[in-house]
Structure 1
Amino acid sequence: MALATLRFIEKYPELYNEAFPLSIDLGPPDVPPQLPVKPPSIPAGVQKPFYGAGFFINNWYLRGHLQKIGCHEAIVLPSHVGRDWRRRQCPEPFIVPSILPCVPRDAFIYFVDEDSPPREVQKFLAHRDRILDIFSDIMQFTPQEAAFVRKNVRWYRHSYRDETLPPDICLDQASFEGGDFMLVG
């Protein structure tokens, strides 16, 4: 992220958050997403943040699931999910997700982003429940975890200054009172 953008976020966080909200509803499947454009009130050197349609997950919580499915590094999760999907004879519709690390302790798993071809975005919006069901099955999510993911998939901003997210937004052990998933240390 450019230095001008970081300085602007530090000096004017409210203006930045107003121009580029942390999250935006996915909206109806037949309507193209209305993602923010850079308003004139934002100086020329300030970059628009990346937006992707997905959800946040705590790194330690993700690590526990990666171990359950035999994947050893978060960075290779897309390859692992793609292989598992092919072993299942490629049920459609499906989109292999991508993953981005977030500061300070979370990861962002997303299926499409603002630069994805419109056809892929439409596919995700029209079939998101089926895509999320297949992904949740591959990840061996419990029914509660899968429901949490479905509820929290939105267009999210990914930027350097994002705060640690609360457990009602970021999938974590604390997201479930008395959850049955144990963290692996």
Structure 2
Amino acid sequence: MSHTDPFALFAEWMALAEAEEINDPDAMALATSTPDGRPSVRMVLMRRHGPDGFGFFTNLDSRKGQEIAANPWGSLCIHWKSLRKQVRAEGRLVQVSDADADAYFASRSRNSQIGAHASDQSRPLDSRDTFTARVEEVKARFADRDVPRPEHWSGFRLVPDRIEFWEDVEYRLHHRRLFERQADGSWSQGLLFP
């Protein structure tokens, strides 16, 4: 591994995962926390990656959206079991622009767009029938036009200050490579004991 740019190394690993990982190579565990430090983790789909960070989209009123609004620090973990590789990153969560959110929302399937309008994500639901009825109501409301992005739906980028690349090695002699962002924006790198 001769990369000095963690995003170039990530792009290489991601391309390998997209070619070889059977299910959701873009699935990542995203950890957020409340202002008093209670952590919460869930799986989300990474929809962007590059020098500006790792991007995902969500309902801003969801638990994760509320936690990010209260405490903008997070971490992620992407584990490709079949490749025996993992990437961890820590940093600040920054909301994407309206234009980026609009563009991604427009690329989603119509049913996913409808679901974004119908769901009060993370809130209690009295029955599945209630949700199904809301989906049908939204379908009817937008029957003959495009489904616009709801105001409560956007995305975030985790802008990392630490990125760790982990590779499984026999006998648990794993290879761990850590990149840390410096004050000038460059990256230092080193190894960690497994």
Same fold per TM (> 0.5)? Answer: no
Greater share of strand: 2
Highest relative contact order (Cα 8 Å, sep 6+), 1 or 2?
1
Give the TM-score, by structure 2 length. 0.29
Please identify the structure whose Cα radius of gyration is greater.
Answer: 2
